[in-house]
Structure 1
Amino acid sequence: MSQHAPALSRRDVLRAAAAVTAAGALAACGKKDDQATNGVVDVELWHGQVDTGKAAIDALINEFNRTHPGIRVSGGGGGVTADSMLQKVTAGLAAGSYPDVAYIFGSDLASLTRSPKVADLTGALRLDDHWPAARDAVTVKGKVRAAPALLDSLCLVYNKKLFQAAGLPAPKPGWTWDDFTSTAKQLTDPAKGVFGTGWPGVGDEDTVWRLWPMIWDLGGDVVSADGKKVAFDQVGAQALGTLDRLRTDKSLYVDPKPGGEQLYQVFLGGRMGMVATGPWQLPDIVTRGVDYGVVPLPTYSGKPVTISGPDTWTVFDNGKAKVKAATEFVNWLGQPQQDIKWDVEGGSLPLSKATAATPAWTKHAAETEGLKVFVDALETAKVRPTIPAYPKISQFLGEAIVSVLLGKKSPDDAIRQAVEQSNGVLAVPS
């Protein structure tokens, strides 16, 4: 699930997942299965895209409809942005009126599949050449429950001008978190309002997903192999300790608003030396004329690791004809000739290695500073587990992170509470 400057708290969005179970019970009265009208199957798409993303998906819909006369996709969008899509779909399931396809964040998929109206696409999609992160994000309990829609990775973007002004060498792949914290301190200039780096500080998913690469790098995980307890209890305090050091050094800008929008504005305004972000931020950085570079995230172990937050095209069961038509559409979107258009115009990384090898992507990557770094990072990218308990684990860890960022708790105390709360949730059968 990408984190594209959400307009509202991701925690608010994730809380809506609790209603999905009830929605599944009510969804039995779903829309009538209109097999076809005049030989054409109508597919309703709620995509939630705006601006360039909307223009890109609209163009693809038009092309699909032109080349598939037996199917007509209607891309009205759903009346909400992608950040509010889970709430919209959940309400639709409860009311018995829901789309055939919706744009759903990967971290929300597992909770949504509690509804029997989410189609099982196992064996129906061509995913062999997709990056592992894309495949993992749509797989729930061993079954393919959606099609990959958008792929990203988390890397470190830095301001070359601020590095030069501080007399610091540019960061390089393989640098450590100790290197990062000391560099952030040297970049910080309170007199000029310059921060070394920043972190979202509201406890939402944007706050949390940046910590997982640090935990994975230290040998931890979100949950244990058997899924009965969390697996960040031994290393979480060390990861939070890095944030605490940044706070103590006063080199960290803590964004008080959801979505990280202020954090990015500080960077775009030339007052932040480094920011962890995804490829979606590059167009704004280029537009603002920031002289920037991109490097992989720092590491504790010396082995590169990052996170990908893929989004999905989730298909809903409004009858066999509609599921078949909707599946054909999302399969078509994932093919290289369509994927490349979505990647370049909509801001995704290539869903597959085949797309990444196309001349069009090679040209696009060569024209965009640092884009190749984000693609290369997919080789070591992991995704959050597709389990229904994840939203609650994220909420508890988010609260722990904020308590450290604000100096209200020590890393040890903060992680201890998050572990206890999360294990309590995992102890209850989903």
Structure 2
Amino acid sequence: MSAKLKWITVLMVMCTAILSGCGGSQGSTGSSSDQQGSKSEKTVLRFATWDTGESLKVMENIAKAFEKANANVKVQIEPYADGFDQKLAASFGASNPPDVMLMWDFPTYYTNLEPLDDYIAKDAGLKLDDIYESLFNYVKVDGKSYGIPAGFSSRAVYYNKKLFDAAGVPHPKDGWSWDDFKAAAAKLTDKSKKQYGFGVRAENDPYDMQGFVWSNGSSFISDDGKAIEGYMNSPETAQALQLFGDMVKEGSAVLVGGKNQLNGNDIFKAGKLAMWESGVWPLESFKEAKVDFGTVEMPAFSGKPVKGVIAMSAISVAKQSKQKELAWEFVKFFISEEAVKMKSDADLPIRKSIVQEKKFDQDPLYKPFYTMLERSDKTPSFLLNKNWKLVNRHLSTAVDAVMLGQEAQKVLDAAVKDASKYMGEK
């Protein structure tokens, strides 16, 4: 073979390799082989998630089940993990977003998302009345739905039965008060054993604190999203936050999760916290650690109804998707009874029928979370004002300062003063 012919052959092989390596991830179709070895084109549907580990496997199983029901579709899962926001924002910026994605931060992304109200109106088989109504408060911006609820957790108090029994303190019951809570925490604290009645987070997300503030009759922001003066720094807001700062000062609670500190989940598992407040996420790990624990709904401020806040995931469709109808079919499947049953215990089921089937509404460990869901009818601050992220930076600093010993009213007044410049336009 001549040298020239050799080079021609090499170039042909290189071209073939390059061409065969291209495609798939950027296109809408890809090749797959059937049992006989023939090839057929499949439509690729891109799905972005923040899940990792076991929960990612659940997403993969849901994708496979959808593919089984839609033989011409390949679901390409894009696990963005902790970089979810950055990668999603970059994909929108590059006009190359996934077709469907998990979502929670609707004020940030809604202009890039497809409004789903028309799809919902045309589809009678969704059985949306089987999904808890309050969850829909979390997917709307300016009255339009930009996602469908997919999973959630409310918040409750975990308590260590062994520590309660050893101290002769009765187990807490639904309907208890913050006075009951503080009295129990004081009795359950034994500093000689490095044991405390409650764990207070050194670094807090104000989002999680809203339930306490709502329960005391206040809010971080007005219902119309236009004012924080008299809300974020109201006496009731200050009182709700001061409660935790005072417990740390008095020694019946300990700061957890700060620099060089263990987090509350680990300390609770070690038997050194009598009470811990959280969502459903650590429940299974507490079981695995063989902690003898119970759960109870949040305490009440005197004469005021208890209110809760929800951490919720939804599923949304990109406005730039070129296959919105297929994306909508995946959304429908993702919230179907089949898919909801497949999801891990990291999220609570959104469908009433499945909750009843699993008897979660009767299980003593899960029931308080559904009781708190019923009490979660308020709209979170971040959904009420487009500049909330900027306001929240000042609020977050103030909340953490309270936990570290500063006076709530003073730091909240300062936060309102510093953040008011962002409150011009709703």
**Counterparts of 1:249-398 in structure 2 under 5 Å?**
249-257=250-258, 262-300=263-301, 301-320=303-322, 322-342=323-343, 345-357=344-356, 359=357, 361-362=358-359, 369-382=364-377, 383-385=379-381, 386=383, 387-398=385-396
Shift of 1:70: 4.0
Gaps of 5+ in 1: 1-30
How much does 1:371 deviate?
A: 1.1
Out of 33, 50, 53, the position equivalent to 2:52 is: 50
Is 2:410 aligned against 1:413?
yes
**Alignment length, in residue pairs?**
380
Tell me: CA distance 1:261–1:191, structure 2 relative to 1, closer, same or farther (3 Å).
closer
Q: Do the aligned partners of 1:47 and 1:102 also contact (CA within 8 Å) in 2?
A: yes
Kindly indicate whether the alpha-carbon contact (under 8 Å) linking 1:174 and 1:302 is maintained by their aligned counterparts in 2.
no
Partners in 2 of 1:346 and 1:333 — Cα distance? 16
C-alpha separation in 2, matches of 1:225 and 1:410: 26
In structure 2, what is the Cα distance between the partners aligned to 1:312 and 1:44?
Answer: 16
Q: Secondary structure at the match of 1:199?
A: strand
Q: CA 1:244–1:294 in structure 2 vs 1: closer, same or farther (change >3 Å)?
A: same
User: Does the aligned pair in 2 maintain the 1:41–1:71 contact within 8 Å?
Assistant: yes
Q: CA RMSD in A?
A: 2.4
Equivalent pair of 2:97/2:321 in contact (CA under 8 Å): no
Cα distance, 1:71–1:421 mapped onto 2, change above 3 Å: farther
- For residue 365 of structure 1, report the CA deviation from its aligned partner: 6.6
1:100 aligns with 2:95: no
Distance in 1, Cα, partners of 2:214 & 2:418: 20
1:294-321: CA deviations, max 9, x gaps? 100011134232111111223213344x
1:210 correspondence with 2:208 = yes
Native 8 Å contact 1:151 1:308 kept in 2: yes
Percent identity, please: 23
- d(CA) in 2 for partners of 1:261, 1:154: 21
Q: Distance in 2 between matches of 1:34 and 1:256?
A: 44
Q: Cα offset for 1:225? A: 2.6
CA displacement at 1:323 relative to structure 2: 1.8
Instruction: Give me the whole-angstrom Cα distance separating, in 2, the residues matched to 1:163 and 1:369.
Output: 17
4+ residue segments displaced more than 6 Å: 35-39
Indicate how the Cα distance of structure 1 residues 157 and 402 shifts in structure 2: closer, same or farther if over 3 A, else same: same
| Aligned 8 A contact 1:306 1:377 in 2 | yes
Shift of 1:396: 2.1
Task: Quote how far apart the aligned CAs of 1:331 are.
Answer: 1.6
Does structure 1 conserve the Cα–Cα contact (< 8 Å) formed by 2:139 and 2:149? yes
**8 A Cα contact 1:229 1:422, kept in partner:** no
Q: Which has the higher contact order (CA 8 A, sep 6+)?
A: 1
Checking the alignment, whether the CA contact within 8 Å between 1:174 and 1:303 is kept in structure 2 is no
Distance, in Å, in 1 between the alignment partners of 2:294 and 2:304 is 21
2:222 to 216, 221, 224: 224
> Does the 8 Å CA contact 2:49/2:102 hold for their aligned counterparts?
yes
Partners of 2:158 and 2:415 in 1: how far apart?
Answer: 30
SS at match of 2:276: strand
- How far apart in 2 are the matches of 1:200 and 1:95? 38
Q: 1:410 and 1:141 mapped to 2: Cα distance?
A: 36
Matching residue within 388, 391, 397 for 1:399: 397
1:65-119 per-residue CA deviation (whole Å, 9 max, x = no partner) reads 1002243211232xx31x4311211122223332112223x2x221122xx4322
> Which one of the candidate residues 104, 108, 120 is aligned to 2:115?
120
Give per-residue Cα distances to partners, 1:114-136, cap 9 Å, x unaligned.
Answer: xx432211232443332133211
- Over 3 Å counting, the alpha-carbon distance change for 1:139 and 1:293 in structure 2 is same
Amino acid at match of 1:84: G
Structure 1, 416-425 or 296-305: larger mean CA deviation? 416-425
Judging changes above 3 Å, is the alpha-carbon distance between structure 1 residues 135 and 402 closer, same or farther for their aligned structure 2 residues?
Answer: same
Residue type at the aligned position of 1:225: D
What corresponds to 1:146 in structure 2? 147
Q: CA–CA distance in 1 between the matches of 2:307 and 2:334?
A: 28
Q: Which amino acid aligns with 1:147?
A: I
- 1:170 corresponds to: 171
Partners of 2:73 and 2:355 in 1: CA distance: 29
CA contact (8 A) 1:56 1:346 kept: no
| Stretch deviating more after TM superposition (383-392 or 151-160) | 383-392
2:112 counterpart SS class? coil
The 1-side partners of 2:162 and 2:334 are apart by: 40
- Find the counterpart in structure 2 of residue 27 from structure 1: none
Task: Please tell me whether the aligned partners of residues 98 and 321 of structure 2 are also in contact (alpha carbons under 8 angstroms).
Answer: no
Deviating more after overlay: 150-159 vs 216-225: 216-225
1:7 maps to which residue? none
SS in 1 for 2:306: coil
Structure 1 residues 425 and 90: CA distance shift in structure 2, 3 A: same
Letter in 1 for 2:403: L
CA distance in 2, matches of 1:150, 1:420: 37
The residue type paired with residue 232 of structure 2 is F
| C-alpha separation in 1, matches of 2:74 and 2:353 | 28
Structure 2: distance between partners of 1:411 and 1:319: 47
**In structure 2, do the counterparts of structure 1 residues 73 and 346 end up closer, same or farther at CA, with 3 Å as the change threshold?**
farther
Answer whether contact 2:99 2:321 (CA < 8 A) is retained. Answer: no
In structure 2, the CA distance between the partners of 1:287 and 1:202, relative to structure 1 (3 Å rule), is same
